[in-house]
A and B are shown apart, each in its own frame.
Chain A
């Protein structure tokens, strides 16, 4: 299934940076927040949040290096 075919949110995904990693980050963001809501401050939730934030920054860095 294509992301932009999802009802309501589809057009939003279709309008982004046309990059699957960012689309994945956009989709996984609310899921990680839900996980934190259930698990509170645990090792698993901490690793998930840290991976997300580090992954986000690292990916922008990666795009910069591949661009230049």
Chain B
């Protein structure tokens, strides 16, 4: 196998150029919030990828199209590079505050040891924390190294939300939209980023339409959240991260900070929008609302979210964690058992939708310490499965689960038919031949098995590295499984394991899990295998 370094370098250069566009566009934020001291860091962060990107694209301009294998390698290495360079604002801003050059006028709260702001920004002086945050952002995970998000500079609050927003749709989708590549290379790359849906025959028009839909929904979501009572800056950030099903928040206790059932319920349709495939959105905007139930995946998104919510509500209600004397909804006050049931439903609905949509917003502060293991595992199941393929969610995806379930039933039923019988496997309105069915079944099985294997490996490492037991500083096995599923499913819900206090080995492991989770594992394995073969570490 020959590695077409020129073709790879050219595409990686384009991705870095696209990243620099994001960084320069973000310069608007320090101007609006008058965080002048953040400007040099942001400019440097933009200049570096721009310079490297410019050199690569000009040096390898005539390198030709990349094939499927190289598409996967470009997607995997590109996402890693983007996360790496995307960590620069965290790193440079933290060091600007630390060095405090008098000329820049860094606010005192960031330069005074002992303050929350100093401590929160200070963790990013360690590059690994910045890379973690950046990878978490771009992959739409939402696990964070920031302890007090509300004390972060507005520039970093924005950068975290912005990279989740972009990462939700995809870095390659962004690159293709603004720096269209001639030839068939765009389609290859697009498919390597765990996307296959096409709205139009042209891939460039498809990705532009995806952005068009995403922008429109973002403005709608911002205004919806503001109408629900959120301040406008919070609405902008949470609409972006909610729609992208990312889950970064700019408040300490995520959405729980507002303690508002109106805001909780307003975020449900926003997270649902992010869980539905873009082609379905396009048809819905055309007025074809029947797709809400006619499209297999969309129909199952509602069924899965509904069932999960009922189960989680029942577990929470039985546990009695949200026992309350009264609860008011739209001016009506409920008492006793009914009030507790409604309160359990409020938290159950929000947390299950947040988990299964892979958003990771939290309204329940005590997922790790107070929630029953059954509740944690119900949420973990939601995180592992995820929602619709072709949306912004992570996880295995509902369509794969359905393929596996229907395929297994198809195989079992096949035993009762004579071997000469001609049978058709039907999936999502398509009639598949035996070979096609086997191919789809195999693809779903491979991804699912790989997903579970990497989940098990990461869980094993965590069980070795972290204190496990029943003490106050120890974690349970459920906590570990929950956290790993959250990282690999790009969800972001946490039982308290993730934070700057984590051992470095777990940070690196989670960076890897988030990376493979976003790209659906295979492109990363292809890249690693090619690198090992190339370096002579592994021989075929």
Contact = CB atoms under 8 A, between A and B. Distances in A.
* Most chain B Cβ neighbours within 10 Å, of A30, A32, A37, A53: A53
Contact of B216 (A14, A26, A63, A65): A26
Q: Which secondary structure dominates chain B's binding surface?
A: helix
B211 A12 contact: yes
B223 A32 contact: yes
A7 to B, nearest CB: 12
Given A22-B285, A60-B287, A66-B287, A11 B216 contact: no
B232 A33 contact: yes
A67 interface: yes
Contacts of B223: 29, 32-33, 49, 52-53
A32 B212 CA distance: 18
Contact of A49 (B215, B226, B284, B286): B226
Nearest to A33: B222
B370 interface: no
A66 to B, nearest CB: 7
Contacts, number: 82
A67 B222 CA distance: 28
A37 B232 contact: yes
A66 B287 CA distance: 8
A24 B227 CA distance: 20
A17 interface: yes
B282 A17 contact: yes
A30 to B, nearest CB: 7
Interface string B213-250: 10110111011101100001000100000000000000
B188 to A, nearest CB: 21
B222 A15 contact: no
A50 interface: yes
Contacts of A17: 209, 212, 282, 285-286
Contacts of A50: 227
Contacts of B211: 12, 15
Nearest to B236: A33
A26 B212 contact: yes
B61 interface: no
A67 B286 contact: yes
B208 interface: yes
A60 B289 CA distance: 9
Given A33-B223, A46-B227, A64 B212 contact: no
Given A16-B212, A33-B222, A64-B288, 19 more contacts: A11-B177, A11-B208, A12-B177, A12-B211, A15-B211, A16-B216, A17-B285, A17-B286, A25-B220, A26-B219, A29-B220, A32-B223, A33-B219, A33-B236, A49-B227, A56-B220, A60-B284, A60-B285, A65-B287
5 contacts: A15-B211, A17-B282, A17-B285, A56-B220, A64-B288
